[in-house]
Amino acid sequence: MAAKNSAELFAPRKPKLGRVVFWGFLVSIAVGAVASIIGAPLVLVAMIVVLCLVLVAVVMVLSWRRWQKTQKMPALLCAALSDVLRMTVHEDMVRLSKFERGKVLQVGPPQRIVLQDPMKRELPRQELEQAAGSALGGRYRVDAKRSKPAKTLVLSGYTPEPEPELTPRQEIEQRILKGAREVLGDSAQVTVEWDETPSEPDYLVSAEITGFNGVDIALPGKRNQAISRLRSRLPKGNFVPEADPQEDLIAFSRAKPLPKLVLPPAHHAPLLRTHTDYRDLKIPLGLAAGGTAAVWQLRKLPHMLAIGGTGGGKTICEHGVIQILTQAGCRVWLIDGKGVEFIGYREWPNVEFLAQDVPSQVRLINLAHETMEKRYKLIRDGKAGPEDMDPIVIMIDELTSFKTMAEQLYRKSKSGGPAKSELMDWIGNLLRLARTCKIHIFIGMQRPDTTIIDGEARDNMGGRISLGPLSSKEGSLMMWDNAAIGVQIPRIAGRAVGLVDGIPTQIQATYNANPDPRADDYHPGMVAAARPAQVVYSRKTIGEPATDIDDKTGEETPPTWQDYLAAPILDANGDEIELNPVMTEESKAMRAMPVTEEPQPVELQEATGLEDIDQFFDPINTLRFGRRAARALRALYGRPETVHEEDDSLQLPPSPLQSGHTEVTEVHALRPGDRVFLDDLGQEIMLSSVDPSEESADLYDLEGYTDDGAPVSVQMEATANVEMSMADELAS
């Protein structure tokens, strides 16, 4: 005879519901017949029959529920306990009580189970709790107070505490931990670091996995496989992996993405009262991924070169530099190559000179060169030192236009002089020598041009920023000594390459308002907030050059080149003055003023879009009268909603690399400057380097940047296929 399994051995006796149904129907018919014989109305007879049938149904349900309590559930429990104890547990050894109500045809699980201990020794409590729960559909734990060792074991039902809802961070942490233990074993541990961004409050910065055996990732193939599987458990993002088998460590890290919009600091730059203040001055230009600022520090990078084509943001960058310098009390001399970019600075405090016509611009460069020579003579004679001198910053916008127009002026007025003017020699000398006597130059150009900025001049401009994508790899080589850096920038307004700790890095440049009320990028709140609070230097101008009268004709002769260079310097009242090369009386007065407030940190601010500017720089605060009424009206009617499609408000026309076709190529054929799509990241990156791996000849190390500006470093097989974007002209 075949042995019976647990289901057959403990199968409960079937309920005898057929007998209940038979006798119920028989009684119902008999009662109906009797009521009909005694002459009861048909309606009453029908009601009596229905009532009897209902009573039959109730009896059937009660019998079914009683069968579950006394037969089915004890049998299921005995079968489950027998499997755990590896012996036969009979129904008379268990007692079930305090059943939950459950449903009509389904009794709820019992709340108490008493098991007669057949083994007279300690029972496996946890296994019995799990077996009882699995058999009866409840949750049980041993009631130590009511149990009697070696006699009876009492299991009491309980309702577990509801699991708290996990926060988004906790969900991600648990997902990473689960994946780490699936890949590296149950001993793996995960440590994560979080940060916040304006658009993502739960931003995972890093995840470190430890507690496993590093031998498991010693081989490159297994290591890459583990990294790939673990990366799938991370949120979408540009995580850079690092694996160290000797330290039993796998780490993923990423920087904060570039903000969509960077705004000027909330606080003014501190006034430069001392030489130490000058040495510490840092002019923020934008933010890199991770929130680190790219800055121009006059002491370390005395001269600055800014490159940016039309719409790239070069002029907006210049506005920010001017506004910070004037807040700090520098002597700012502006040379407006186009004559229209700096109109808003005609009444701006601490802009000592604003030269908008070519003769004035030429005279201002000559004046800067003369001032440098005078300062050097004073230093050589021991009459002054750099610490005594006012810092002067000369900003030349559109140097190419300025040089062209200055050459035209020279050809018309040279009066027998050399073929070329000394203008570019003066600029070269200033770039070469002026840093020691605290004269600094900021040059803005639309594109790198070696015919204007030669190798020596470029090398003397240690501060650099290129705004928007550079038009050629040759331009990238001139600016950054790398054919990929600069051309890899996505065409997003404000996106740039700047120096962060001396390293060319993709940044989001600061959005600064134009102080000209007629300009599209004028914002009264931003302009008012940027306007210097302390007027240190009064406005000065270049006077008209002296001219002679022709003895023969009696008419005024046109000015010569030398006349332009000798044009007088006029103060705010129009009186001719001689500029003090060291320090003005105004500067002396400023330095002697007591310090009344502690300087605040000059830190850039992040925003999600142009529509947020009013939250940082409220235009109402610029009103001289009626602020209360304006605020009441705004509270009543609200701000008008500004419609901005995602990224479109800050998006420039697509670059050739983003607008062309795609082709599939192998990794070893890639070059710096190529734009490729990586499946592991789910997005495109612009490559800055493609090098064979030191670990294996079959692997390549790829580095680059995403459109968010985050650095990316991945390792891929040399023969792996990737999708590469191509410009239309290349694809054809």
- Of 483 and 653, the structure prediction assigns the larger pLDDT to 483
Measured CA to CA, the distance from residue 647 to residue 645 in angstroms comes to 6
Q: Per DSSP, what are the bridge partners of residue 286? A: 294, 509
pLDDT for 221 equals 82
pLDDT for residue 644: 41
Largest CA distance in the chain: 156
CA distance 250 to 233: 14
DSSP letter at 69 equals: I
- The Cα 438–Cα 713 span in angstroms is 41
Q: Is 465 a residue whose pLDDT tops 90?
A: yes
Does 168-253 carry CATH code 3.30.980? yes
How much is the pLDDT for 181? 92
Output the pLDDT for position 8: 58
Q: Where are the alpha helices (DSSP H) in 554-690?
A: 561-565, 585-592, 613-616, 627-637, 656-659
Read off the pLDDT band of 653 (50, 70, 90): very low
Tokens standing for 190?
């995960």
Per-residue model confidence (pLDDT) at position 730 = 32
Could you read off the pLDDT of 385-394 as tens digits, one per residue? 999 999 999 9
Q: Residues of 211-230 as b/e, b for ≥16 C-beta within 10 angstroms?
A: bbebeebeeeeebbebbeeb
Residue 703 pLDDT more than 90?
no
Q: State the Cα–Cα distance between residues 214 and 204, nearest whole angstrom.
A: 24
> Which tops the pLDDT comparison, 367 or 217?
367
CATH superfamily of 298-597: P-loop containing nucleotide triphosphate hydrolases (3.40.50.300)
User: According to the model, what pLDDT value does residue 732 have?
Assistant: 32
Query: pLDDT of 283-338, one tens digit each?
Result: 999 998 878 899 999 999 999 999 988 788 899 999 999 999 999 999 999 999 88
Q: Where are the domains of the chain?
A: 6-157, 168-253, 298-597, 654-731
pLDDT of residue 177: 93
Q: Dump pLDDT digits (tens) for 222-281.
A: 888 888 889 888 887 778 888 898 889 999 988 777 888 999 999 999 999 999 999 999
3-state SS record for 238-283: CCEEEEEHHHCEEEEECCCCCCCEEECCCCCCCCCCCHHHHHHCEE
Q: How many CB atoms are closer than 10 A to CB 326?
A: 27
Q: What does pTM read for this prediction? A: 0.71
CATH classification for the domain delimited by 654-731, as one of 3.30.420.40, 1.10.486.10, 1.10.630.10, 2.30.30.30:
2.30.30.30
In one letter, which amino acid is 554?
G
SS (H, E, C) 362-375: HHHHHHHHHHHHHH
Q: Is 550 exposed, middle or buried (0-12, 13-18, 19+ CB in 10 A)?
A: exposed
Q: How far apart are CA 430 and CA 351, in angstroms?
A: 20
Q: In a 10 Å sphere around its CB, with 0-12 CB exposed, 13-18 middle and 19+ buried, how is residue 241 labelled?
A: buried
Residue 515 has pLDDT above 70, yes or no: yes
Amino acid at 270: P
Q: What gap in Å lies between CA 581 and CA 388, rounded to an integer? A: 11
